[in-house]
């Protein structure tokens, strides 16, 4: 049926049983879960999934997590940051072992999505684990040949909180069209020469330069971070309709 292909799916989202294949620690608080999901229909860079855990007494807790892997990769990967008072993340990061299964549905969302080959430059701003969906875009971009001029501004508390640090350095070293800027807001290693403050308009101007008419910006992280960064870009002259945001709420993840 012709309509189905365009609109993505024929039936409402269904819960599936995902199996953990591998759990990769990324930082002291975050791990990447590589999952096997039967009949996974594939995803687009930037999309998320919902995870649902059910306790023995029937109580259910549900959270959304961004997909970290590129559509081109074999396994579906989520990177989850552990929130100590969370209901879902302490299980996913800490208790989950390879072979364990949990309920998941997705892929979800069609707005905070980037497709390789989209005309124009790509401007990414991530706060903490807000990097996760942006990383899916960067991996997707690299898999597609890396032609899109891309800048990433990443804010983290400290160097050890930076997700995918080696991979980001490698991606930037391999591709001159990708530049990565880092700001460390709480703790800096000795001799740090990068940014050392919260994202502000001056930093955005230095990293991204004047707005390009066909540029597309994706901003993801805790709500206050996203609103500060997005309004900073708009103040610099970026078209609000080309600044896409994904707020994680007060704590993120």
Partner 1 sequence: MEDADLRLDGNAAAGLLGEIFAVELTSARSTCRGCGATAEVGALTAYTHAPGIVLRCPGCDAVLLRVVRGGGRIWLELAGVRSLELRGPEAA
**Interface residues toward partner 1, by CB under 8 A:** 2-3, 5-13, 48, 50, 64, 105-106, 108-113, 222-224, 227, 241, 244-250
* Minimal distance, residue 129 CB to partner 1, in Å: 15
* Minimal distance, residue 230 CB to partner 1, in Å: 10
Cβ nearer to partner 1, comparing 29 with 63 = 63
At residue 172, φ and ψ (nearest 5 deg) are -70, -35
* Minimal distance, residue 173 CB to partner 1, in Å: 32
* Minimal distance, residue 7 CB to partner 1, in Å: 4
* Minimal distance, residue 119 CB to partner 1, in Å: 17
Beta carbons within 8 Å of 220's beta carbon, 6+ residues apart: 66, 112, 125, 126, 127, 130, 131, 132, 133, 134, 226, 245, 246, 247, 248
Cβ nearer to partner 1, comparing 5 with 74 = 5
Separation in Å, CA 76 to CA 8, 9, 170: 18, 19, 22
Cβ nearer to partner 1, comparing 49 with 204 = 49
Whole-number Å distance between alpha carbons of 232 and 226: 10
Cβ nearer to partner 1, comparing 23 with 104 = 104
Cβ nearer to partner 1, comparing 135 with 178 = 135
Q: How many other CB atoms are found less than 10 A from the CB of residue 241?
A: 7
Rg (CA), the chain: 18
* Minimal distance, residue 44 CB to partner 1, in Å: 10
Q: How many other CB atoms are found less than 10 A from the CB of residue 231?
A: 15
Q: Are 158 and 186 in contact (CB under 8 A)?
A: yes
Q: Are 110 and 144 in contact (CB under 8 A)?
A: no
Whole-number Å distance between alpha carbons of 219 and 24: 25
DSSP state letter for 10: S
Cβ nearer to partner 1, comparing 43 with 151 = 43
Beta carbons within 8 Å of 30's beta carbon, 6+ residues apart: 79, 80, 81, 82, 93, 129, 163
* Minimal distance, residue 247 CB to partner 1, in Å: 5
Cβ nearer to partner 1, comparing 46 with 211 = 46
């Amino acid at each position: 049926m012709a309509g189905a292909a365009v609109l993505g799916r024929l039936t409402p989202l269904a819960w599936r049983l995902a199996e953990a294949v591998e759990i990769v620690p990324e930082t002291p608080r975050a791990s990447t879960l590589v999952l096997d999901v039967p009949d996974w229909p594939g995803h687009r860079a930037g999309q998320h999934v919902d995870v649902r855990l059910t306790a023995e007494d029937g109580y259910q807790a549900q959270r959304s997590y961004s997909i970290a892997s590129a559509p081109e990769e074999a396994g579906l990967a989520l990177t989850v940051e552990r929130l100590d008072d969370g209901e879902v993340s302490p299980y996913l990061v800490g208790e989950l072992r390879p072979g364990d299964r949990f309920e998941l549905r997705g892929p979800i969302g069609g707005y905070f999505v980037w497709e390789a080959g989209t005309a124009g430059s790509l401007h990414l701003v991530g706060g903490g684990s807000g990097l996760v969906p942006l990383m899916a875009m960067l991996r997707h971009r690299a898999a597609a040949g890396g032609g899109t001029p891309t800048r990433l501004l990443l804010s983290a508390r400290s160097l050890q909180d930076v997700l995918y640090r080696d991979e980001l350095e490698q991606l930037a070293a391999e591709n001159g069209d990708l530049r990565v800027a880092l700001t460390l807001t709480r703790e800096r290693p000795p001799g740090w020469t990068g940014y050392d403050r919260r994202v502000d308009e001056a930093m955005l101007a230095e990293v991204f330069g004047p707005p390009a008419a066909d540029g597309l910006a994706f901003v993801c992280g805790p709500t206050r971070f996203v609103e500060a960064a997005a309004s900073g870009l708009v103040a610099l002259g970026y078209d609000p309709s080309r600044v896409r945001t994904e707020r994680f709420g007060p704590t993120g993840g």
